[in-house]
Structure 1
Amino acid sequence: MTRDLHQLLTTAQSDQPPASYTVDDIVAAGRRRRSRRKFGQWTGGATGGLAVVAVAVALVSQGGASAPGRAPATTVDAGIAAAETKTTGPTPLTYSFAGYRVGDFRVTDPSMANPGYQSAMIFQDNVYVGDGPPIEDHLGTLTVYRPGVFRPDLFRAGTPVTVSGRPGFQTELPRKIRVGSGDPNSREVITKPISAPALAWQYGDDAWAVIEAHGIGQRSLPVTAIRQLADAFRTTAPAPVRMPYEITYVPAGWRVAAAGSHNLILGDDAISRVVLVRTDTSFDALTAPLNFEDGTTPTVQIMVAKSGGEGPYPHPVTPACPQGQFFCDLPIGDSGYYVEVHDQSSTLSGADIRKIADGLVFATVSKPNTWHDAVTG
């Protein structure tokens, strides 16, 4: 039961709300928890797969405009020179693009940033799935790699294309899609192999971006839309990634590597996530995003969410650090929020996990303009 609780606590994809909103403003837009792997989403591919990209999703600016504090780029190369390319040493994490829209298709603000890439989700408005009003459907992912990081090895056998005057490749990638579950008392997942339309192109010199479709049939991102979204992509002036605390303790052999926060408009009630990885984890020479969710890349994830008793489990949990479960779940003073520290590698001691949680020095969680810039290292 406790293990199932923990999986609920570590679900969803996220990004930080712009400073013009308070967290409570956005929480009011929707409180329904979403599972990390919604029905029909990738379970991973033959090539190492998509990392439930990218662990988090941004609050999209109204009408697809750039987020506050980000100046739209006048050329595709704007902001690239300022993007960090080194993967060692303390480095500020930044976002270098913002959400945008092409017709009914919408790219969110970047979800999470790490030394190798930033990610965002792609949605389509006005999708009819039966009786009732149209919905907004998640149909794909945009991953924007830092200059010099990405190797398009999986795309070279595809069709060469030109996007905004720069080279790229259009192809289909082998993926597995989740189509159901087996015995409800087990963790069996039923999957189906499919081919996913994808496009990789250079948005700057040796700087690559990738759009990959999710779903099948009418619930997938059309190739024409992929190309239109790639054509419309622009960088922005770099903006800092922020988190609602300072981290004063990181166990030996680990480092902060990624930060982002959740999209509350979709009903996810987590507002921040930071990822620690082992110090030997590389963000260089990538052919796909790292997987922070399935244990492929050992991680410790720190998540902040609003406290509450919705659903079958209260939050935060009691006891705060269940023995042998590799997580701690603590209230953040009287703020109405809690923090969870989860060792997804299941290797740290309970004392280390608790020490990470106790070492977080919080800003005013409900006011993102008081949050701290995220730094790797």
Structure 2
Amino acid sequence: MRLSELLDEVRAEAPPPRYDVDAVVAAGRRLRWRRRVTAVAAVVLAVTAVVTVPQLTTDRRPSRHTVPAVRVSPSTTPAATLGYAFTGYTAGRFRVEEPGEAIAGWNLNPITDVKDPDRCRLNCYLGVRGIPVTDPRFPRERSRTATEPINGRPAYWLVDRDMGFLVLLWQYADDAWAFVSRPNYRTESDAPMTRDDMRRIAEAFRPGSTRTVPTPFRPSYLPAGWRLTGSRGMTGWSGATLRNAATIAGMPADRTITVIKPPRAADLLELVLAPLGKNKTPTAEPICVRQKDGGYCRMRLPDRDAVLDVRGGTALSLADLRRIIEGLTVADPRKPGTWTPITAAFPAAAQFTVVK
């Protein structure tokens, strides 16, 4: 992997200036690790179990460019735990951040050292699996060792060889697992958190009641056969990812914590809402461009101070992408309180379904 690629990866989440080049490279690798974990759904389509994503209400009127499209009724299926979301919490000096994403598979949530925010930056995570799974495994794990039960349930220490992370994996309910991870150091005092800290975070975890994750997108049109596999967002920025049902059905229903190569961009449909940067000058009319691995349509939302992108793989035509972007209703990216649960924002036909 080239240094330039790693620098590109961490440009948006760069470490503080006091870090050297080695720290930047390490941060880039950790960021890639995090994205690989959350990018892939290790489940198969079949029996309904809908991804939970909040639908947004918006005061934005549809653009005059919106094409006529058949409006689909929001899903009324009860929320499932596929995109598991819970309330953040504090354990000692560490804070597990409120998750702002729903992913088909494992959801990663950053852990912050309240007293020294830089210490755990891009280093420490809580991973939670909402879909039932028995005896989950990292694909390249080593030295799995049983440890004292956590809240009366099995727990294990292991090292993920893919990134050299120390992992505390435990069962928090029947066929429900979570893990706390941080870089593995030879000298424990160099680590951003101790093993005791990791245990305290695990012991303090309580699933509580599920909640849906919000999205600013409300599509009036989506091509047939595409399923929502992920949604994440924060104030000012949001994204939603869909995959073709055929590519999802080809994935194994397994127990693997998927630190693996993410799907190709050519196999994805992505909706991205980002702040309008100084160097971005898209027009209020959609601009659509064909590329080797697909294409994209982009437009400026003047009343939102934002740029809206719809990116699709080779299976989607520019006409499809244009119809999607022109049919999107978008809430204010700066006001997450106006967003909608994904179960209501996306049509029932686009909801992700799984079989255990």
TM-score, normalized by the shorter chain, greater than 0.5: yes
- Residue 34 of structure 1 corresponds to 13
For structure 2, the 5+ residue unaligned runs are 16-22, 53-82, 344-350
CA distance in 2, matches of 1:210, 1:90: 23
**Contact kept? 1:139, 1:221, Cα under 8 Å:** no
Q: How does 1:273-288 map to 2 (within 5 A)?
A: 273-280=239-246, 281=248, 282=251, 284-288=253-257
Q: Helix, strand or coil for the counterpart of 2:122?
A: strand
Q: 1:104 to 1:238 in 2, by over 3 A?
A: same
Greater shift in the superposed pair: 115-124 or 345-354: 345-354
Q: 1:156 to 1:175 in 2, by over 3 A?
A: closer
- Residue 80 of structure 2 corresponds to none
1:146 pairs with 130, 134, 148, which one? 130
Give the deviation of 1:166 after TM superposition.
0.5
**Contact kept? 2:107, 2:127, Cα under 8 Å:** yes
**Aligned residue type for 2:197:** A
CA distance in 2, matches of 1:208, 1:126: 28
CA distance in 1, matches of 2:135, 2:24: 29
Give the deviation of 1:333 after TM superposition.
4.8
- Residue 225 of structure 1 corresponds to 197
Pair 1:339-2:308 in alignment: yes
- Residue 189 of structure 1 corresponds to none
Q: How does 1:195-274 map to 2 (within 5 A)?
A: 195-214=164-183, 218=190, 220-262=192-234, 269-270=236-237, 272-274=238-240
**How many residue pairs align between the two structures?**
287
- Residue 35 of structure 2 corresponds to 51
Write out per-residue CA displacement over residues 193-243 of structure 1, whole angstroms, 9 at most, x where no aligned residue.
xx3200111110110012222475736443332222111111121112111
**Contact kept? 1:364, 1:370, Cα under 8 Å:** yes
Give the deviation of 1:175 after TM superposition.
2.1
CA distance in 1, matches of 2:213, 2:333: 15
- Residue 167 of structure 1 corresponds to 154
**Contact kept? 1:42, 1:52, Cα under 8 Å:** no
- Residue 182 of structure 1 corresponds to none
Q: 1:257 to 1:171 in 2, by over 3 A?
A: same
Greater shift in the superposed pair: 151-160 or 235-244: 151-160
**Aligned residue type for 2:202:** A
**Contact kept? 2:84, 2:129, Cα under 8 Å:** no
1:370 pairs with 324, 338, 343, which one? 338
**Contact kept? 1:320, 1:330, Cα under 8 Å:** yes
Give the deviation of 1:308 after TM superposition.
2.8
2:111 pairs with 109, 122, 131, which one? 122
**Aligned residue type for 2:273:** V
CA distance in 2, matches of 1:358, 1:204: 44
Q: How does 1:304-315 map to 2 (within 5 A)?
A: 304-309=273-278, 313-314=279-280
- Residue 299 of structure 1 corresponds to 268
Greater shift in the superposed pair: 292-301 or 117-126: 292-301
Higher normalized helix content (fraction of residues): 2
**Contact kept? 1:321, 1:350, Cα under 8 Å:** yes
Write out per-residue CA displacement over residues 139-164 of structure 1, whole angstroms, 9 at most, x where no aligned residue.
22211112423542346951112111
For structure 1, the 5+ residue unaligned runs are 13-31, 56-84, 129-133, 177-194
CA distance in 2, matches of 1:292, 1:249: 30
**Contact kept? 1:203, 1:209, Cα under 8 Å:** yes
**Aligned residue type for 1:105:** F
- Residue 291 of structure 2 corresponds to 324
Instruction: Tell me the TM-score normalized by structure 1.
Output: 0.63
Give the deviation of 1:96 after TM superposition.
3.6
Q: 1:201 to 1:135 in 2, by over 3 A?
A: closer
Q: Helix, strand or coil for the counterpart of 1:308?
A: coil
Q: Give % identity.
A: 24
Instruction: Tell me the TM-score normalized by structure 2.
Output: 0.67
Pair 1:348-2:316 in alignment: yes
Q: 1:358 to 1:307 in 2, by over 3 A?
A: same
Give the deviation of 1:368 after TM superposition.
2.7
**Contact kept? 2:85, 2:102, Cα under 8 Å:** no
Q: 1:251 to 1:239 in 2, by over 3 A?
A: same
- Residue 104 of structure 1 corresponds to 93
**Contact kept? 1:167, 1:201, Cα under 8 Å:** yes
CA distance in 2, matches of 1:209, 1:303: 29
**Aligned residue type for 1:114:** I
- Residue 60 of structure 2 corresponds to none
